[in-house]
Amino acid sequence: MSTILGLSPDGALWAALGLLGVCLVLALAAVALWRRASAQSAAALKGQADAVPSAFPAGDVATGLISRQDFERALDKAVARCDAQRSAVCLLFIDVDDFSDVNDALGHEAGDEVLHEVAVRLHAATPAKRSATRVAGDEFLVLLTVGETVAQAQAQHILEALSRPLVARQGREFRLSASIGIAAYPAHGARAGLVSKAHAAMRTVKQTGGGAWASFNPQMAVDQRAQAALLADLRVAAQSRQFELFYQPKVDARTLQVTAAEALLRWHHPQKGVISPNVFIPLAERNGLIGDIGNWVIEEACRQAGTWRAAGFRMRVAINLSAYQMRQDDLVQRIESALASNRLRPERFTVEITESLALENTRTTQRTFEAMRRAGLHVAIDDFGAGQTSLAYLRQLPASELKMDMSLVNDLATSADARAIAQAVIKLAHALDLRVVAEGVETEQQRDLLVRMGCDELQGFLFAKPMSAAALGLWAMDDEFSHRPEFSSSLFQDTRPAP
């Protein structure tokens, strides 16, 4: 038998066992040292954590902000100190504007990342670190132990912090904005109503476009009650169909023949009379009623278009689509079904989409645009010139028509800049093989300038105000309602394509 390092077999065995024992002892010592070091490290970290509060105390999982219960306790304590010291407390109610667009574009996981970044920026922008919580969704509350004037400056600071570029998944850059309502204690009343008053102020900002702050005033509470009453009436109106479509003609710029009529929604309130869509459409959009109302508009416009076509009125009918409708997966199918029921061709029916909505470029709206392209619908980009549409993106849309915003038309007669911009819009549209409609034409001078520029169609009070379907029928047949008989015959002719 062989030997190991010159030792006998028995000696080799004992040497191997001894070596194994040494290794075991060393291993046990290493484990002991590791446990001791870990314990010291944990103690050190605990000491650091006690010395420096966590940036995000445990609470809301998505954002890391404190829980609503902890926030309410902090608010109670701040109000108690305020009463004892005769100081002030302010509450900011923050709603991220158009946050649903982020979810639509990138999905809910990316949306959660954006909410977390909002929380980080709120945390960095507020002086007290345990002063912010998430209410629900994209709504936040911030507690400030300062007076109202300082709180207003703080709200502006938060708006600026949120507006800095934010890069989410897929390298997509966002610039967020928010609507902020401010309520002060004791200036605006008891602690119990502080959150609702900050929320009322936030809603006021939201209704005017967002991206700003507002302090509560008693009129907001009155307006909120009035809005609640109007919303209740609107729900009844949606069920009992208290709506009517009025129609405003569009005329060919060269022949002054009617080419189309835009359907405009009106609400006949049983006590208040006709209510403007500028009042009730935003209310319907905020409260989930726009879907039902929009579906009714599609059905009614198609029904009326079918009736006119059967009577020989050869004009295109246009409807306006809301952002909510553009995000509905079955929108185009609904339009196609309504057209088929009334024996109408898709290319003879126009859907008008605002420039800002066309610019959204979310996955949902892109799918809707693609469905419109496949269906052969006539698509018009409304209010063009009011925003900042990307020319490269505009070229990709299935649009056949641009509607020049009336702000460009208003100053044509008095402003060389307005004329230069209008001319540029018309040339751009024609280069992209798009027809141009100028809306808001009210004077003959505006009409003549637009005709010379090569505008294709005109719409405005110079030609006709919005009217009921019955009135339009009488106007078309040269009844007493018709102030311009030369238009009436065009309703019995097909729209001619642009040369």
Give the chain as a 3 state SS string.
Answer: CCCECCECHHHHHHHHHHHHHHHHHHHHHHHHHHHHHHHHHHHHHHHHHHHCCCCCCCECCCCCCECHHHHHHHHHHHHHHHHHHCCCEEEEEEEECCCHHHHHHHCHHHHHHHHHHHHHHHHHHCCCCCCEEEEECCEEEEEECCCHHHHHHHHHHHHHHHHCCEECHHHCEECCCEEEEEEEECCCCCHHHHHHHHHHHHHHHHHCCCCEEEECCHHHHHHHHHHHHHHHHHHHHHHHCCEEEEEEEEEECCCCCEEEEEEEEEEEECCCEEECHHHHHHHHHHCCCHHHHHHHHHHHHHHHHHHHHHCCCCCEEEEECCHHHHCCCCHHHHHHHHHHHCCCCHHHEEEEEEHHHHCCCCHHHHHHHHHHHHHCCEEEEEEECCCCCCHHHHHHCCEEEEEECHHHHHCCCCCHHHHHHHHHHHHHHHHCCCEEEEECCCCHHHHHHHHHHCCCEEECCCCCCCEEHHHHHHHHCCCCCCCCHHHHHHHHCCCCCCC
Mean pLDDT of the region 305-312 = 88
Mean pLDDT is highest, among 213-222, 299-308, 414-423, 482-491, for 299-308
The domains of the chain are located at 68-216, 228-492
Say whether pLDDT at 343 is over 80.
yes
Q: Give domain 68-216's CATH architecture.
A: 2-Layer Sandwich (3.30)
Mean pLDDT of the region 82-101 = 88
Q: Given this model, what pLDDT does residue 99 score?
A: 79
Say whether pLDDT at 152 is over 80.
yes
Q: What pTM was estimated for this model as a whole?
A: 0.59
Say whether pLDDT at 349 is over 60.
yes
Of the pLDDT bands very low, low, confident and very high (cuts 50, 70, 90), residue 438 is very high
Say whether pLDDT at 193 is over 70.
yes
Q: Given this model, what pLDDT does residue 494 score?
A: 46
Q: Given this model, what pLDDT does residue 207 score?
A: 78
Of the pLDDT bands very low, low, confident and very high (cuts 50, 70, 90), residue 333 is very high
Say whether pLDDT at 32 is over 80.
no
- Between 289 and 454, whose confidence is greater? 454
Say whether pLDDT at 34 is over 50.
no
Say whether pLDDT at 142 is over 90.
yes
What value does the mean pLDDT of the chain take?
A: 79
Percent of the chain with pLDDT over 70: 76
Say whether pLDDT at 26 is over 80.
no
| Domain 68-216 and domain 228-492 have a common topology | no
Of the pLDDT bands very low, low, confident and very high (cuts 50, 70, 90), residue 485 is very low
Say whether pLDDT at 317 is over 90.
yes
Say whether pLDDT at 81 is over 70.
yes
Lowest-pLDDT range, 100-114, 322-336, 427-441? 100-114
CATH topology for 228-492? TIM Barrel (3.20.20)
Q: Given this model, what pLDDT does residue 481 score?
A: 41
Q: Given this model, what pLDDT does residue 29 score?
A: 42
| Tens-place pLDDT, residues 376-406 | 999 998 888 755 555 666 777 788 899 988 8
| Tens-place pLDDT, residues 45-80 | 333 333 333 334 445 666 788 888 899 999 999 999
